Amino acid sequence: MLGDTKINELAKMSLREPILVQGLPGLGYVGKASVDYFVEKLKPTKIAELYSSYLLFPDGNLGINISEDGTYSLPKYEFYAYNEKEPNAIFLTGDAQPSVTGQYEVASMVLDYAQQFGSKMVFTMGGYGIRGGNETGAVYAVVGDSMLGDRLKKMGAKLAKGGAVTGAAGVILGIGRQRGLQCAGLLGATGGVYPDLEAARAVIQMLTGLVSIPVELKDLDSEIEDMRKKMERFRRTELEESKEGEEKQGEEGKDRYIT
């Protein structure tokens, strides 16, 4: 299937050794939520999209996502470039993870693309699963070299001491390190709530502390507040609906899988 992954460049931009910041769907949606926040606040330029036959839906099928206006698109990665301040950055977000078979191919193409711009640092944002306890705001780090680990520890991160990072976040760190890039994974402690904006806040703060990216957390704080209220409301609605039995079945034309 070689050749079924491709990057469509949408705009040419001049970047100086941009850091690559990847956040894809995963545990607690921490990674995607944090990169999406950078995109929302910094309004970087969308420079490319990656399409691949390996970007599957969570149920293991291929297909298209339908938008609210009835239009659709294949699952994709999106690359956004920011060059207003130092360091420059490429933010990578997406709506799917590659299948196991495609992880190497996709991660390699992402790194090839970023390295064209001279990227030397790779950060992946993600969630770190915890059960119980209170670690809200804690960030666990995995690092390509221990010097970076020391810097992150001074900033309050805990170093993960074992286990594994699986999926796209792990694979790009693994291949990145093999290519001699500086790499770190910033993993926000999460109980798995979806999306865990508090965990996202923690990893955003960690990254902006490490490399100066001019992003204010104020808006995120109010989003977290909003989210809390929404969750509250959602839980109440759910409770009421479960009382009403199974009569109501969601808004017409929405959120169904069609095969």
| Distance between CA atoms of residues 83 and 119, nearest Å | 13
Closer to its own copies by CB, 14 or 259: give it.
259
Closer to its own copies by CB, 56 or 210: give it.
56
| Distance between CA atoms of residues 122 and 47, nearest Å | 18
Of 11, 12, 20, 24, the C-alpha closest to 166 is: 24
| Distance between CA atoms of residues 217 and 202, nearest Å | 10
Minimum CB distance to its own copies, residue 88 (Å): 26
Among 65, 116, 212, 222, binds its own copies (CB under 8 A): 65
**Structure-token match 């079924």, residue found:** 4
| Amino acid found at 42 | L
Among 74, 193, 217, 224, binds its own copies (CB under 8 A): 74
The answer to whether the beta carbons of residues 76 and 50 sit under 8 Å apart is yes
Q: How many CB atoms lie within 10 A of CB 221?
A: 13
Closer to its own copies by CB, 74 or 215: give it.
74
Pick the stretch among 32-40, 167-175, 195-203, 221-229 that binds its own copies (CB under 8 A).
Answer: 167-175
| Distance between CA atoms of residues 55 and 216, nearest Å | 32
Residue 259 lies near its own copies (rule: CB under 8 A): yes
The residues in 117-146 that bind its own copies, with binding defined as CB under 8 A, are 126-129, 131-133, 140-146
| Distance between CA atoms of residues 146 and 111, nearest Å | 22
Minimum CB distance to its own copies, residue 116 (Å): 20
Among 178, 212, 222, 237, binds its own copies (CB under 8 A): 178
The residues in 21-60 that bind its own copies, with binding defined as CB under 8 A, are 26-27, 51, 53, 56-57, 59-60
Residue 4 lies near its own copies (rule: CB under 8 A): yes
